[in-house]
Amino acid sequence: MAAPMNSNASSLQCKHGKTYLLYFANHHTDFRVAELVALADMFGIDLPVADLKFLDKECPFFVVHLSSEADAKQLASRSVLIKSIIELWGHGITHEDLFEDLRKSKDSVMSHLMDTASFKIVVDGFNKSLPQKYKVQRIERLTEDALPFSGKIDLKNPDQLYYLLEDYGKQSKNADSVPQHVYFGRWIADGNRNEIQNQEVNKRSFIGNTSMEASLSLLMANLSKVQKNMLVIDPFVGTGSILVPCAYHQAYVMGTDINYLLLHAKAKPSRHKQKTRSPDESIRNNLAGYGLEAYYGDIMVADASRHAMWRTTEIFDAIITDPPYGIREGAKKVGKEEAVTLTPDQRVDHIPQKVEYDLSNIFTDLLNFAYKFLRTGGRLTYWFPVHRANYKEENIPHHPSMRLVSNCEQTMNLRISRRLITMEKIQQYREDESLASQTHVDHYLNSSFRNMYFNVPENQQKSVTTEGNTPDSKKPP
């Protein structure tokens, strides 16, 4: 069944302004509402949030009422999930219904455009590929029965572009299937999806096994409402892929990572056939490759579990990160399994010992870090890996000063997914032990996410100490 239209969807003029059709890409479908709400919030666009409950992630079409075309253009300018925004002229369950709706809703502005502007009509189907002959017939029927365009057809450079969109819903794609919804409207803007190709990770010199794909990094920057002149940090920065879209949005970027070899391009290359890393592989040079070096703040080898190096509190406008899940290798933090006493001479070039960094502690530390160093109103966006069968919303780490804004799922396989969490700081930092981050539920059931990921039977799992560390466990690959 195709998704039901949301209320008032087909009335072009409404008390809210005009009606627009959002035409989404069929990708990262669980993130649509979160991105839309974050962008509307960032631009101060009045989005009727109550309508969003009708948004069905199986359907790429969604009707919204916006105050102006400028609002629609602004939303599209940043969205990486919207393909196009279309000013909706009419809608129907069948083509006949659509024609009826178009005849009724036609106004003087529409008639003027149809008479004077050169135009092109694109016909597109969701869940069925439409033969060219069929598309031409559809355009002929539309222009004969409902909208008698008298402007010039211009397929290369039209003044106005129109879309006739057919939604075949989830039904089987057989040759006889008929559309379940049909939309017609005037193209207003495309989303910012070209930037996904421009920022493709493989085109950069410095990449690693866990570099975040461009569409998700761009999405994270949108959920954190990253804008010009902000200061953004990724405390688990790796190859800095999350910082690229932030710099692209003209925010100054910083990062920390415990892995000296990676940050200094001395770690094993992740590219097939590349034997050694080139010394000029760096986050700074990646940014320079996009002409964004001016937004490079600094990258430091540092442990995200220790925040003592920051002198000023509440300096970051956004914290955006993908913490280690301990799958390829166990996450580490600075610490000692046994007490070591150093002479002053030894301290000079001493490389501190590292111990396992348990996943629950990573998130507790991350929220405490955000509470201390994020400005009030700033956003923290991070990935939280989950075992789907055990997941409940209470599993999401929480902090009394951080409001949960959105929580979207990206499925990895039948058992495992990760959730993209966005939180907003709602209270200024003050020294108070009781305001520490909390995780009430042990989401990993006293095991490790790695065991869950690889489905390790219970009797072969290593026990977890009260600190959450597994000092006796074998190092995962």
Q: In whole angstroms, how close is the CB of 423 to ligand SAM at the nearest point?
A: 18
Query: Which residues, at least 6 apart from 444, have a Cβ–Cβ distance to it below 8 Å?
Result: 359, 360, 387, 452
Q: In whole angstroms, how close is the CB of 195 to ligand SAM at the nearest point?
A: 17
Residue 258 binding ligand SAM, by CB under 6 A:
yes
**Gap between the Cα atoms of 76 and 61, Å rounded:** 14
> Which listed range, 130-138, 171-179, 324-332, 412-420, lies at the site for ligand SAM (CB under 6 A)?
324-332
> Which listed range, 69-77, 149-157, 206-214, 468-476, lies at the site for ligand SAM (CB under 6 A)?
206-214
Q: In whole angstroms, how close is the CB of 331 to ligand SAM at the nearest point?
A: 4
Q: In whole angstroms, how close is the CB of 330 to ligand SAM at the nearest point?
A: 9
| Binding residue (CB under 6 A) for ligand SAM from 86, 114, 221, 242 | 242
Q: What is the largest CA-CA distance in the chain?
A: 91
Tell how far CA 460 is from the center of its chain.
Answer: 36
CB-nearer residue toward ligand SAM: 16 or 307: 307
β-pairing, 82-92 vs 119-126, is unpaired
Residue 303 binding ligand SAM, by CB under 6 A:
yes
In the complex, residue closest to ligand SAM by CB: 238
Q: In whole angstroms, how close is the CB of 286 to ligand SAM at the nearest point?
A: 10
Alpha helices in 28-175, H assignment, sequence order: 32-43, 69-78, 95-105, 108-116, 132-145
Residues 262-291 that bind ligand SAM (CB under 6 A): 262
CB-nearer residue toward ligand SAM: 86 or 452: 452
| Binding residue (CB under 6 A) for ligand SAM from 10, 241, 395, 448 | 241
**Gap between the Cα atoms of 363 and 440, Å rounded:** 12
410's enclosing H/E stretch is strand 402-411
- Structure tokens that stand for 109 in this block: 């502005």
Residue 259 binding ligand SAM, by CB under 6 A:
yes
Residue 294: HSE in the Cβ half-sphere, 13 Å Cα cutoff: 7
| Binding residue (CB under 6 A) for ligand SAM from 10, 74, 127, 211 | 211
CB-nearer residue toward ligand SAM: 104 or 203: 203
Residues 328-357 that bind ligand SAM (CB under 6 A): 331-333, 357
**Gap between the Cα atoms of 188 and 167, Å rounded:** 20
CB-nearer residue toward ligand SAM: 6 or 217: 217
**Gap between the Cα atoms of 356 and 337, Å rounded:** 10
**Gap between the Cα atoms of 198 and 217, Å rounded:** 13
- Structure tokens that stand for 285 in this block: 């040079």
Indicate the SS3 state at residue 319.
strand
- Structure tokens that stand for 26 in this block: 């069929």
292's enclosing H/E stretch is none
Q: In whole angstroms, how close is the CB of 259 to ligand SAM at the nearest point?
A: 4
Tell how far CA 378 is from the center of its chain.
Answer: 17
- Structure tokens that stand for 452 in this block: 């869950």
Residue 215 binding ligand SAM, by CB under 6 A:
no
CB-nearer residue toward ligand SAM: 169 or 297: 297
Residue 239 binding ligand SAM, by CB under 6 A:
yes
Residue 373 binding ligand SAM, by CB under 6 A:
no
Q: In whole angstroms, how close is the CB of 238 to ligand SAM at the nearest point?
A: 2
| Binding residue (CB under 6 A) for ligand SAM from 101, 281, 322, 356 | 322
Q: In whole angstroms, how close is the CB of 171 to ligand SAM at the nearest point?
A: 40
* DSSP code at position 438: B
| Binding residue (CB under 6 A) for ligand SAM from 324, 330, 385, 468 | 324
Find out whether 328 and 210 touch, Cβ atoms under 8 Å. yes
- Main-chain dihedrals φ then ψ at residue 23, nearest 5 degrees: -110, 105
Closest CA to 20 of 6, 39, 32: 6
What are the CA-CA distances from residue 194 to residues 77, 218, 244 (Å)?
11, 11, 15
Q: In whole angstroms, how close is the CB of 334 to ligand SAM at the nearest point?
A: 7
| Binding residue (CB under 6 A) for ligand SAM from 81, 123, 232, 304 | 304
Residues 374-413 that bind ligand SAM (CB under 6 A): none
- Structure tokens that stand for 464 in this block: 């977890």
Q: In whole angstroms, how close is the CB of 269 to ligand SAM at the nearest point?
A: 13
Query: Which residues, at least 6 apart from 273, have a Cβ–Cβ distance to it below 8 Å?
Result: none
In the numeric block, the tokens 């499925």 are attached to 411
CB-nearer residue toward ligand SAM: 72 or 374: 374
Q: In whole angstroms, how close is the CB of 67 to ligand SAM at the nearest point?
A: 37
* Start-to-end Cα distance in the chain: 45
CB-nearer residue toward ligand SAM: 90 or 240: 240
Residues 39-58 that bind ligand SAM (CB under 6 A): none
Q: In whole angstroms, how close is the CB of 227 to ligand SAM at the nearest point?
A: 21
CB-nearer residue toward ligand SAM: 191 or 240: 240
Q: Which residues are at the interface with ligand SAM (CB under 6 A)?
A: 208, 210-212, 236, 238-242, 256-259, 262, 303-305, 322, 324, 331-333, 357
